[in-house]
Amino acid sequence: MGIVIDINDFLHYGNVKYNLAHADKMLFDRCQAAICATTNLIKGEAIVTDISCKLFTDNPDCKGTVTVLITHVPNQIHWKCPACGSEGIIKNWKNSPLYIQFLKDSNQKSKQIKSITLSSEEFEKLVNLSDGLDECKAMIASAQKTGTSYTISVNTINVFQILEKLIFKIELKTPDRPFYIKLRDELKTAVI
C-alpha cells in the first residue's frame, strides 16, 4: 500500500491547522501540489502521467514519473512510480483548500460576461437585420458604444435564436452574406 496521507489530518473545519509542524506543512503543500497536478486527469482509470515522482515522494534521486488513479468513491488519488517502486494514496483530496479554490476560480471564470464587438458599419447591418426580429432588437438595445465600435453582451439575450435567424439569412445568399457569416461565428465563439 505504501504511503497513505489523509488531507483531513491537516485540516480543522476546512482550514489548514495553524500548529502544523514544519515537516507536516511541507508534506501537506506537496500533497496539494500533487492534487492540483492530477485533478484534470480522467477519473476511474489508471493514467501514466508525466508528473514527477519527486512531487509525491520528495525523493531527489528518482527520475521517474507516476501512474495515477483518481477515484471519487472513495475520494482518493492512488499513485505509483514504476522507476523507484514508491506508491501511495492521498485520501479526501476533494477537501484540499487549494483544490476547492481551483473549483471556485473555475466557476467564476465560467460566469464572466461574454461579448462581441462590431464596427459601426457592422452594427448598422445588424440594425437592418433586426427589422422584425425581437431577439435582435434586444441585442441592439444592450449595445454599448465605445469610440467607433459597439460591444454587445451575449449573456442577456437568446443567442441561439439569433443564430438560427442568421443562418436563415445566410442561406438566402443576400449581398451581406459575409457579414452574417462573420456575426454568426462571433456569436458562436462568444457562447461556447
Domain positions in the chain are 3-110, 115-191
Please state the rounded mean pLDDT for residues 161-167: 64
Please name the residues in contact with 89: beta carbons below 8 A apart, sequence gap of 6 or more: 1, 2, 3, 4, 5, 76, 77, 78, 79
- pLDDT higher than threshold 50 for residue 67: yes
- Cross-strand bridge partners of residue 67: 48, 80
Across 61-79, average pLDDT: 89
Q: Does position 161 have pLDDT exceeding 70, yes or no?
A: no
pTM: 0.56
- pLDDT of the residue at 156: 45
Q: Which helix (H) or strand (E) covers residue 176, if one does? A: none
Condensed to tens digits (0 to 9), the pLDDT of residues 1-26 reads: 688 999 999 999 888 998 999 989 88
Place of cell 454587445: 152
Q: Of all residues in the chain, what percent carry a pLDDT higher than 70? A: 74
pLDDT at 172 over 60: yes
How is residue 62 written as a grid cell?
528518482
Closest CA to 144 of 154, 134, 135: 154
- Give DSSP secondary structure letters for 127-174: HHHTTT-HHHHHHHHT-EEETTEEEEESSSS-HHHHHHHHHHHHHTT-
